[in-house]
Structures are given as C-alpha cells and as structure tokens.
Structure 1
Amino acid sequence: MKALSAIFKKGGKYLTVWLDYNTGKAELEFRDSLPDRKIAPALIGETGAYMKIPPGTNAVPLTFGPAAGGLGQAGAFEILTYGERIVAIRPVYGYKRRGIERAMLNRPIDESLAVLERATGNFAMAYTYAFLKAVEENPDEDVWEVRKALLELERLYNHFNAIHKLAGAASQKVATMHFHALEEDVLRIFSRLTGHRYGFGANRPGEVRILEPKAMERLRGIKEEFRSLTDELLESKIFIDRLHTTCRLTREDIMELDAVGIAARGSSVERDVRTFDRFYSYKPVTCKDGDALARLMVRIEEVEKSFEIIEGSEVRSVRSDSSPKDGLNLGLAEASHGDVLVLAELEGGKLRWIGLRGASRINYVAFAKGITGNIFTDFPFGLESFGLNFADADLWQGGED
C-alpha cells in the first residue's frame, strides 16, 4: 500500500509525493485539492482537523507550549482535558518556521548544503544525505559508504538521547546520566571527525571530509557501555511499567496515518528507507506491541545494527567526480526518528526550488493519536519514545511559488 509521504505547494497546485515502502517506488502528482488521507492536512501545516471534541463533554482546552519545559523547542500542543486524562490533542506547528528553504535557493549546491545543515542540527547527516541523493549525478560508492557510516553514527546519538530522556521521565537518574554521557561521547567523535559536533561540513558535493579517522576507535568502548547500561535499565520494573501500554498505536493506526520510522516499526509496519537504499543491505527491526516500550526495544536493536554498519565501513576522506543533476528529483534518508524527504529542482547547477519534509511533521500526529486517552503523567513517556522535534516539523513548504 502506497503512503502519502509529502505535500508541497508549487505552481498554484498541490504537489503530492506517494511512496511504496516495499519497493521504494515514488510517484509525484500535481493536484488541485488535497488527497483524501488523514495525514494530508498536517502535511501542509493544518492540524485543527485532528482536534475532535466528543459531544457533550465538559472538557477544558489548554495549550502546552510554545515555551514549556519538556518540549525542548518552540512548539505547542492544544489539549482538551477534564482533569487528568487527555480527551483530545493536536500538535501546533509554525513556531520554528525560519524560511530555511528560501535561504537555500539560487545558490551553488555547496552553499545550499551549508544552509540545510542548520535546519535541524541533530538530523544534519540525514538531510544532507537525502539532499545529495536528489542532486548528485553519478554518485561514487566509496563516498556513499562513508556518508552511510556518518548517518548511522548520527542515529546512535539520537537513539541515546531518546533513551536518556525516557529514563529521565521515569526518574532513573543513574541511567539518565549514563545514556546522556554516551550521547556526548558520540558527539565528541563527530567533533574530532569533522570539526563540528553535528558533522557540519562533512558531506559536500562529490566528497566527504574527515579530519581525524582515529576518532572512531572510541566506538568500541561505547558499544560495551551501551550493552551494560541497557541490561541494567531493562531490569527496572518501574521503568518498564511506565512504558508498557503507554501511547499505543495499532498497525491500523499506522496505515491510516501514514506514519513512518520508529512509530511504524514499533507497530510491526516495516517502513524503513534503508531497505531500498542501494547503498544499504538492511532488514528493518520491528516490534508488534505499538507502545512506548516497543519503540524503545526497536531503538535498542537498531543501535546494535548501527554499530555493525559503522564497523563495516572505513571512515575516511573520500572525493570523486560528481556533477549536479538538473531537473526535479527526490532524495530520501532514514533518520533516527523516521525518513526525511527532499524534493529538489536544479537548473544550471543551482537550486531553483526545494521542498523538505521531516518525519516529525507526520509522526507528531501519530503521537497525538497514541496519547489520546492516556493520563498527563504518561505524556513524556509517549512523546520521548518518538524522538521528534519541532524544527524538523516546521520544514515543509519549500520555495513556494
């Protein structure tokens, strides 16, 4: 079944992107109106349709955010409640809208790439990977092998970040600080490898720049620490109890909402761009329960797979002959929270139009579906199990005509 993956406004019409996760085949379609899919309003930033007020309710509306502890970034949720239980909820987009896409236009590729890296720093490797997939002609496999390793390294610290936040929500203070330290260790590896903690400047047109390859030697110790910490964390019955059955999504929910990434795989739906990425050989990790615990278990298994992929790659500087690819082209990358999508149009080697869609724009809606009916103290466990951020959700419209 094809998923509705993105909607952009271009030439006075809606440009829709449909993706078959089994084959990797994408279809682009210009439409006068939105397609009849539940995720369609959110893909253009309109989330009011998801706030359904039950008839006869005496629930009270409140807004959580845009500046509130527990959200991490400027963003908000509108919540309907009559006390402790969440009756209805919707994400509110737009607070992190910065016009990144327009700032990328009419520049040479390397300059556009430097702007894109700063759109949402913790997913910089994923966005640059997807962007270069869209705009590079004749990609060199050696270059992509290193880019793949950097993408998996980025996945590691984002997964560590999500686990440390889940542990923190359950007051598992020792585990919280240790997983936070693992995240910091990976960021320091990035700093030594590339000169920047988020890898800015590493992925360039036709090349990958690596400053200190020996920095990767620290990864072996991180893997051993991760395994030990994970064993201890999963022995905590209090921690497991807080995640079990919390913010549950069924397989049918995933299909109905076109959800992606961790959200989908935690509900036994194998949606992972790496399965049809020519530079990967990958089988997705899934779990059937669909709750916050299931999403955690998927992360833990994915960390192990990331270690394997990185250890099988030689991280070094690589350069190849490459040229920009004119026309409208699609690029995808599987980030830690789900796939990011780049639709780029080049003319004469310069970027003339671009559309960006992060997994957060889709999966905040999935989170809202799952957390409905839960109590407020379950909110952080549900939210952190998705690993989303609002900067990623607010990349959407592209260079709208």
Structure 2
Amino acid sequence: MNILYKFFSSIVTTVVLLALYASAASVATFIENDFGTSVAKYLVYNSWLFNVLHLFLVINMITAFFKYKMFEPKRLSMFLFHFAFIVIVVGAAITRFISYEGSMHIREGDTSNKILSYISYLQIEINNGEFVYKSETPVNFNAVSGNKFNEDIDFDNEEFSIYLKEVIPNAIEKIVTAENGEPIVVFTFLNNNIKNDVTIKYGEIKWVGDQLFCFGTNPPKNAFYMDYANDTLYFMNDEEVSFSMMRDTVEGKIAAKILNPLLNGFLYTWGTNALVLNRVYPKAKTELRSMGVKSTGGQNALIFDITNNNQTQELLVFGRENYIGKQNRVTSGKYAINISYGSKEIELPFSLKLDDFVLEKYPGSSSPAAYESFVTLTDDRVSKVEQHKIFMNSVL
C-alpha cells in the first residue's frame, strides 16, 4: 500500500500521466479530423486505456491532497484546482457509464422534451400481426472497427438469424445506365409527414414507412403497384388517389384498382401519403459506392442476411449517427422483419422552450460575433417554470 501511495503521489507520475493525457487527446483530434468522430471515439475516447488514464489521474490528485496537505487554509487555491478536476472527471464518468447524452433541436417559439442520442442503435422488430419482438443494440460502425453483428432470435416458435454481411462507410446508391439493366423508378414519398427519397427496382417489393410498394410483380394486398411498359410508367392503388399538377390548376381523382400512367410534375395523394415522381430509368442498375472515410455527406450502408425457414433474404439498411434510423422491411410468411440503424429519440422528464434566439454579427460581415438563447424550463413533476438566458456555450 505504501508503495502505491508513493507511486501515485510522485510528481514524476503526475507529469507522465498529464503527458500521456495530452498526447492521447492530440492523437484523437487528428483522428477525428481525418476519419470522423465515430472513429475517434472507437480508438481513443471510449477505449478502456483512456478510462484507466482518467482513473489514475483522479487517484493522483487525491493522493496529492494528503502529500501536500492541501486542506490547510493557505493552500486553498491548490485544493480548489485539484478538487475541480476530480469533479469534472467524476461528472464525465457518470455521463459515460450511467447516464446518456444527446442533442436537442428547437426552433424559435417551439418547445421540446426530446433529445437525439449521440449513440447509434441497431433496432430490430419482428411482427406477426399479433405479437411484436423488439431489440436494440448500441453500435459504432465505422471505417476501422470490426463491424460485426449476428443475432439469433427465437420468436413465436420460429428461428430468425440476423447477420451483418457488409458495411460500406459513407455510401451512396448510384444509378447507372446499363444495356442489360432493368427499369428503376426514383420518387419522393411523404408518409405520416416523414419525407423519404425512394429508389425501387423492377421486380422489387419495398416497405416505406407503413406503405408497401410493388414494381413489376404480383402486387400483395394494399400495395401501391407500378409497372413499366411501352416507355410508360403505370400505377394502380387499392384506394382512390387524388392528383394535382404542381405548376397548374389541373386536379382530379383516380379510382381504386385502375391502371393509370404515373407522370412527372404531378402530386399524388391518398390517406396520409403523398408521392411525386422524380425519374424513370428504362434500363439501369444500382451500385453502392463509398465516398471515402473522410467524407461526411453520406450514410453507412449495412447489408444484412436474414434467414427464416431455411430461406435467406438480403436487406439493405442506410443510417448514420445523429440521424433517426428509418425502418427497412422484409417479409417472411406472416412475419414482418424491420431493421433500422441510427440515433434514437429519448424523452426527457422536462421540456425547454426557445423563446428567443439572438445572433450578433461583426460589422460589415456575416460571421457571428456572439449569440444567446432565452429559454423557458418547465418541469411538471415539481411544478417548476423558470426562464433562463444561455450565452454562447454556457451551461444551463
């Protein structure tokens, strides 16, 4: 015990630990600049070595209290400096291991009680129409991690295997023309006020939100059916569809289960859904391409093999951190299997309202000089309503 005390209270140990800490933080900064935040977290910030380094620094500070008798009034400034460091590290440890963190987006005049988690989750849902199986796993898929995931699920006396076959970082789905290709349709679809940019290939059945799309194959019940023939794209729906020309006053209705042309420049609506055709490729194919590990504009593409009843289906899932994951679905008999990848919304026990946001700029420039937010904090649990001003990056 005496040896450990001498080791941790040594000034040499302090210098070495601080040098290691500064070096690790510097390396993490360069990694984050070149490969992104997720890689820096994986290699440095969330590594067990970095956690041990924090622990050693805290022990070093505590032993310094006794060695240099910092409890005496004349050494109060030294005591406060060391104690503040310990409080910061303990607070960070609580956030890291016990609590959670995320970002809250509030427009001026709006109120929010939800944050978007900094951690990405792989969420799996299996629905048989009566019961639902759900699971979520925190993940960090990036350019340098192993990117492995495999889950065997026993649900409703059925075996399901979810295997992550490949991860393509910062991927985009590129459509290229090909002589031996098939028709591909690109459209924008609004489902329950959620916008989706959809690409569907000939012969494909795809779920977008709670709407099923079918292109060039026998349409299941309640599917929005599309077909391509004689250089024209047709559609048929199980319910009546309203249409309007976006650049004119032309509008009308199309009866259910009637094949009609699907045209550019028209808005098609039914129920809580809206669709706009973007482009039709008569002969094309899709290719997944990575924009490189340094790019920040794309999403990670996850390719899964989903096996049930000795039948394996491939499912492509796009997602990234700081964005809510969108469900992607395949069906196997009576089972609907949904997988999403990305951040998730976390509901808070209090709410914040952004009353006013003030941005000051440098004279003759558009660069911000300072900013401040005026917010109202509401906590119904204790009947609390407080108004606060947050200047720049100050802490509330």
Bin of the TM-score, shorter chain as denominator length: under 0.3
Q: What TM-score results when the alignment is normalised by the length of structure 1?
A: 0.24
Considering fraction of residues, name the structure with more strand: 2
> Which protein, 1 or 2, shows the higher relative CO under an 8 Å CA cutoff with sep ≥ 6?
1
Q: What TM-score results when the alignment is normalised by the length of structure 2?
A: 0.24
Q: Higher Cα Rg: structure 1 or 2? A: 2
Considering fraction of residues, name the structure with more helix: 1
